[in-house]
Amino acid sequence: MARLVMKFGGTSVADIDRIRNVARHVKREIDAGHEVAVVVSAMSGVTNQLVAWCRDAAPLHDAREYDAVVATGEQVTAGLLSLALQSEGIPARSWQGWQLPIETSNVHSSARILDINGAEIVKRFKERNREVAVVTGFQGVVKETNRVSTLGRGGSDTSAVALAAALTADRCDIYTDVDGVYTTDPRLVPKAHRLDRISYEEMLEMASQGAKVLQTRSVELAMQRGVRVLVRSSFDPPDLGGRPTDQAEQLGTLVCHEDEIVEQNVVSGIAYARDEAKVTLLKIADKPGVAAQVFGPLAEANINVDMIVQNVSEDGRYTDLTFTVQSADLDRALEVLRKAKDSIGYLDLRGSTDIAKVSAIGVGMRSHAGVAAQMFSALAEKGINIEAISTSEIKISVLIDAAYAELAVRTLHSLFGLDSR
Ligand code: ADP
Ligand code: ASP
Ligand code: MG
């Protein structure tokens, strides 16, 4: 007998038929003798609608009320799935964040989970014939204020991993609309192939560089707490085509420690993000302290800066500075910099969202030189101009014109031998 957390994303619970399908996946594990807690997302499109309503009601909305609205999507799915499970003859009960509780920090709309009390769920596994707990993803409660909070878009993945850690589950299965983690987004590159395994470090870079298959925070948490995460498809037949459930790990991608992976390419995957924006300050003084005057006010306004490039100054007096922020923060960043114009001293300020960031990721880069050079010359051959570069030990990212994003992803995917044969 194992203890499992099974998480189902929006497309997997998009309508009542799909919720029934999810119930059958859960039934398979119950029939195999396992204890199961399920984490559900809102039905596909629901969270987007709720967010749009908040924006419509008040563009500069109160984050606590935003959370009160957007957390409702998951409540509906948890109730519906519990009903579907009961119809299959399986004891099931829904749980919202405040009921367990799932305690979070007080940062509304992007709260972090601090603690989950799984005692009642475990008690019911024992006392009520393995009653299935159906837990709302994405939401929790702020202890000091007793108000509902949410974890940021895609946050149900993090709810699932945190619950798996709290329940000391044997595995956390993330069921989605693809059958695992691919070498790049399979919707963009049909030649992408599924990875059998990926290390926590690589998955963390993939997620933070734009592969939305797992929320970045969920990977961070899985790595910290040693949770085995299996990304798999809810569109596989619930009876797994007759395969035994203990072969499940072969049906998806296991996110695990690097030393559990035998074969390793230099580059494991290519990620891309279109949600960054570029800010350029023209003709700022080339002297100590100017960068602090630019980035200090941005930090105070809670705006995260990603890539930074400063041009070499031709005359030793003036230079240009370019950096990226999340597109959603662009207007605020420009506003902050306009206000600080006198203290910074620049000639002109420009913002643009027509950019994309493309990244090559692989732990093999630690021991292989020349990956960056290969990458830059392949992009140059296609006439793609690189506007900024950033690197980590296992990642190289380039900023390019958004129009070339797809071409760049395909080019790098072939270059590093990732195309399926
Ligand atoms: P869910 O609603 O189940 O949480 P998401 O839409 O958040 O699902 O994540 C799944 C999607 O992530 C896939 O449909 C796919 O288009 C996208 N994706 C991006 N990069 C990758 C990748 N490297 N591997 C698999 N899927 C990816
Ligand atoms: N429903 C939330 C969202 O759409 C959380 C999730 O699906 O993970 O962002
Ligand atoms: Mg998701």
Question: For residue 312, is pLDDT > 90?
Answer: no
Write the pLDDT tens digit of every residue in 43-63.
Answer: 999 999 999 999 999 887 899
Across the chain, which distance is largest between two alpha carbons, in Å? 78
Among the bound ligands, the one closest to the CA of 13: 1
When pLDDT is averaged across residues 168-181 and rounded to a whole number, the result is: 98
The answer to whether 412 touches 396, Cβ cutoff 8 Å, is no
Q: Picking from 315-324, 329-338, 343-352, which range would have the lowest pLDDT averaged per residue?
A: 315-324
| This prediction's pTM | 0.94
Query: Which ligand is closest in space to the CA of residue 161?
Result: 2
Choice from 15, 19, 151, 213 to test ligand 1 binding pocket (greatest atom count within 8 A of CB): 213
Report which DSSP code applies to 217: H
Long-range contact pairs involving 145-148 (C-beta distance under 8 Å, separation at least 24): 145/106, 146/98, 147/64, 147/67, 147/68, 147/108, 148/67, 148/68, 148/71, 148/97, 148/98
**Mean pLDDT of the 105-119 span:** 96
- Atom index in ligand 1 nearest the CA of residue 188 equals 16
Contact 150, 141 (CB under 8 A): no
Instruction: Give residue-wise pLDDT tens across range 369-406.
Output: 899 999 999 999 999 999 999 999 999 999 999 999 99
User: Is pLDDT above 90 for 285?
Assistant: no
Residue 303 has φ and ψ, to the nearest 5°, of -100, 120
Amino acid (1-letter code) at residue 204: L
Q: What was the pLDDT predicted at 253?
A: 97
In the block, residue with structure tokens 């195309």:
419
Is the four-CA dihedral 48, 398, 230, 233 of positive or negative sign?
positive
For residue 100, is pLDDT > 80? yes
**Ligand 1: nearest atom to the Cα of 9:** 3
Query: Ligand 1: residues within 6 Å at CB?
Result: 9-12, 41, 154, 176-178, 181-182, 184-187, 206, 211-213, 269
Closest residue by CA, ligand 1 atom 4: 9
Nearby residues for ligand 3 (ion, Cβ within 5 Å)? 9, 154
- List the residue whose alpha carbon is closest to atom 4 of ligand 2: 47
> What is residue 126's predicted lDDT score, i.e. its pLDDT?
95
Determine the pLDDT at residue 49: 98
Joined together, the tokens standing for residue 82 give: 């519990």
What tens digit of pLDDT does each residue of 9-20 get? 999 999 999 999
pLDDT at 214 over 90: yes
Question: How far away, in angstroms, is 179 Cα from ligand 1 center?
Answer: 10
Share of the chain above pLDDT 90, in %: 88
Does the pLDDT value for residue 198 go beyond 80? yes
pLDDT, position 209: 95
